Amino acid sequence: MLKINNVETYYDLLYALKGVSLEIAAGTITAILGNNGAGKSTVLKTVMGLIDDQPEKGTIEFLDRRIDGCDPESIVRLGISYVPEGREVWEELTVSENLLMGAYIRRDRAGIKKDLDRMYAYFPVLKERTGQLAGTLSGGEQQMLAIGRALMNAPKLLLLDEPSLGLSPLLVKTIFGIIKTIRDDGVTVILVVQNARMALQIADFGYVMENGRFVMKGTARELMEDKDVQEFYLGVKTDVSAKGYQRWKRKKRWR
């Protein structure tokens, strides 16, 4: 469904993506793992055409069509929706207005109504709050609203940046459960996360990012069973030494 081939992205002089390649199959959840500043969010922003004059190098294909160099609105119209880190719901609009704004490119009224009901089925708490201003929702409710709004565009591919950030473990579990349902309902998902454990539990595939490059990829199970991933991303051992980490970074290459 999505093919990123050797993409390089800069923020002015900062070399943020250093030749990134990734392939996403339809009907899957792919988790992109990595520490702060690794470049995970930049991958999603590059796909969405949100970085000026980008990408500097490489190609991006969505459903066999080149989208690198396209503007964000054209990319949304082709069927990719994006939930940024921090949600960015419209605080002055109500829950239902936010959801309907997500469908602004659609004209099929019956389909929009059906999808609105579907969002309320995914997120019953939003149904109880249709008339409430989004700015007054809790963090978890805002995250649900942001996902619901993105789905109202009826996307084929959903990009989620840190959907669990700042949420309680119970809410994270709820939201990740819904992401799985969304995949089962036919939407392909790319998930950017620091919370690797929970993400790998629902994902089909995973990529590990370090310093602007993917250093590992595999099925979610393979990554979960990998000793280095366990140590550096799943916190299985508590005696992670800085030296060991540097050694791991030096030796890590595609597997």
Q: Which residues pair with 157 in a beta bridge?
A: 80, 188
Q: Which lies closer to ligand ATP via its Cβ, residue 38 or residue 215?
A: 38
Residue 195 neighbours by CB under 8 Å, 6+ apart: 164, 172
Report the residue number, 37 or 235, with the smaller CB distance to ligand ATP.
37
Under the binding rule (CB under 6 A), the answer on residue 53 touching ligand ATP is no
Tell me which long-range contacts 234-242 makes (C-beta under 8 A, separation of at least 24).
234/196, 234/197, 234/200, 235/197
Q: Which is nearer to ligand ATP, 134 or 209 (CB)?
A: 209
Q: State which of positions 134-163 bind ligand ATP (CB under 6 A).
A: none
| Binding of residue 16 to ligand ATP (CB under 6 A) | yes
Least separation in angstroms between CB 115 and ligand ATP: 29
**Any idea which residue has 């050694």 for tokens?**
247
Q: Token pair for residue 80?
A: 């990719």
Q: At a CB cut-off of 8 Å and minimum separation 6, what does 138 contact?
A: none
Query: CA torsion sign, 130 to 135 to 139 to 145?
Result: positive
Minimum distance from CB of 187 to ligand ATP (Å)? Answer: 22
Q: What are phi and psi of 84, to 5 degrees?
A: -70, 160
Query: Given the complex with ligand ATP, which of 40 and 129 has the nearer CB atom?
Result: 40
Compute the distance between CA of residue 163 and CA of residue 194 in angstroms, rounded to an integer.
Answer: 10
Cα separations in angstroms, 220 against 163, 203, 210: 18, 6, 18
Minimum Å distance from CB 43 to ligand ATP? 7
State the minimum distance, in angstroms, from the CB of residue 10 to ligand ATP. 9
Rounded CA gap, 228 and 236, in Å? 10
Quickly tell me which residue has 């959907």 as its tokens.
163
- Binding mask 170-209 toward ligand ATP (x if CB under 6 A, else -) reads ------------------------x---------------
Q: Which tokens go with 72?
A: 């964000």
Q: Is 94 in the site for ligand ATP (CB under 6 A)?
A: no
φ/ψ of 195, rounded to 5, equals: -80, 80
40 binds ligand ATP (CB under 6 A): yes
Q: Which region among 11-19, 131-139, 199-207, 231-239 touches ligand ATP (by CB under 6 A)?
A: 11-19
Residue 39 touching ligand ATP (CB under 6 A)? yes
Q: Which is nearer to ligand ATP, 54 or 188 (CB)?
A: 54
Options 35-43, 113-121, 168-176, 246-254: segment touching ligand ATP (CB under 6 A): 35-43
- Ranges within 61-90 binding ligand ATP (CB under 6 A): 85
Given the rule CB under 6 A, which residues bind ligand ATP? 11, 14, 16, 34, 36-42, 85, 194
